[in-house]
Structure 1
Amino acid sequence: METNQGTPRIVVGVDGSPSSQAALRWAVRYAGLVGGKVEAVTAWEVPGEASWSAPAVDATFDEEEAEKLLVDEVRTVLGDRGAALVRERLVHGHPVGVLVDAAQGADMLVVGSRGRGAFRRALLGSVSQQVALHAPCPVTIVRPDVSAD
């Protein structure tokens, strides 16, 4: 699978959950096999916006801190060498819309099978399920146990 630029682009959703960590590891391994590049995307919503998907965070928590957490998450999961292969991106919005938009022109979108919790999933539906229905490219859904190193 190659984009018009010749380098496969793999987008992966990162939310700090064990399954998103597994998805990140899977995406980096896959990119290595196909000579691709990885873009780790996290959705950012301000608590109190009209959505249940925002993480419960301190009111003083800001976007700069969220960006640092994303970079730290990638580095923790992949190590310094692996993290150097990934471009991190924090985007404001609901996770489904953010990931579907980020996947425009991508060769693959990778997400974890479970995210922030059963209560939200019951109210909103699974992010991975919605992404699989609406993504403009193939979607791989990774279970946490798949990437055991």
Structure 2
Amino acid sequence: MDSQGVAPRIVVGVDGSPSSQAALRWAVRYAGLVGGRVEAVTAWDLPGAGTWSAPAVDADFDEEEAERRLVEEVRTVLGEGASQVHQRLVRGNPAEVLVEQGQGADLIVVGSRGHGGFRRALLGSVSQQVAQHAVCPVTIVRPDAAPE
């Protein structure tokens, strides 16, 4: 909690890759240390819809299936701790979405490399873009740097 009694808001990019799983675990551990709240965000975009260079999903993308996969991914990575994480699927370029979701956040956490564990909802490798454009601090987590 900060001096005004507000829990720090931590946004974490999730795409199912080992890096994003490590980032999610790291974000939850950090939130526990600082009394923060975690928001797991998966971004998706239609082909040609983004303004930054990033992967897009197929036109037959199933948003409900992607939401189920996000919930399943968070549950798989965190087990019972998943209920403490707010989960959100947002349409848009992954880097832009994370920067936007980071507005007013205390921290954005991303994996060092995403490769789209959710085959049709790719986060992609956006850590550099997020670090360059975010208005809050950004932590980039390597999959081998975060202990289980």
Does the TM-score normalized on the shorter chain lie above 0.5?
Answer: yes
Query: Distance in 1 between the 2:13 and 2:141 partners?
Result: 11
Does 1:139 find its partner at 2:141? no
Letter aligned with residue 30 of structure 1: Y
Q: What displacement does 1:44 show? A: 1.3
Query: Distance in 1 between the 2:40 and 2:3 partners?
Result: 18
1:120 maps to none
3-state secondary structure, aligned to 1:40: strand
Query: Distance in 2 between the 1:43 and 1:3 partners?
Result: 32
Does 1:8 find its partner at 2:14? no
For the aligned residue pairs, the C-alpha RMSD in angstroms reads 2.1
3-state secondary structure, aligned to 1:99: helix
Query: Distance in 2 between the 1:96 and 1:4 partners?
Result: 30
Mapping of 1:70-89 within 5 angstroms?
70-79=70-79, 81-89=80-88
Task: Provide closer, same or farther for how the CA distance between residues 64 and 5 of structure 1 changes in structure 2, counting only shifts above 3 A.
Answer: farther
Query: Distance in 2 between the 1:90 and 1:116 partners?
Result: 17
3-state secondary structure, aligned to 2:136: coil
How many residue pairs end up in the alignment?
138
Letter aligned with residue 127 of structure 1: V
* Greater fraction helix: 1
Q: What displacement does 1:140 show? A: 0.2
Question: Is contact 2:115–2:125 with CA below 8 Å preserved after alignment?
Answer: no
Structure 1: 5+ residue runs without aligned partners?
Answer: 118-124
Query: Distance in 2 between the 1:94 and 1:58 partners?
Result: 15
Q: What displacement does 1:49 show? A: 3.4
Q: What displacement does 1:24 show? A: 0.1
> What percentage of aligned pairs have identical amino acids?
70
Query: Distance in 2 between the 1:11 and 1:40 partners?
Result: 6
3-state secondary structure, aligned to 2:144: helix
Query: Distance in 2 between the 1:67 and 1:5 partners?
Result: 31
Q: What displacement does 1:136 show? A: 1.1
Query: Distance in 2 between the 1:17 and 1:64 partners?
Result: 20
3-state secondary structure, aligned to 2:96: helix
3-state secondary structure, aligned to 2:24: helix
Does 1:27 find its partner at 2:31? no
Letter aligned with residue 135 of structure 1: A
1:42 maps to 42
Structure 2: 5+ residue runs without aligned partners?
Answer: 117-123
2:120 maps to none
Q: Deviations along 1:96-139, whole A, 9 cap, x unmatched?
A: 1000000000000000001128xxxxxxx941001001001000
Mapping of 1:39-118 within 5 angstroms?
39-46=39-46, 48-50=47-49, 52-55=54-57, 59=60, 61-79=61-79, 81-116=80-115
Letter aligned with residue 35 of structure 1: G
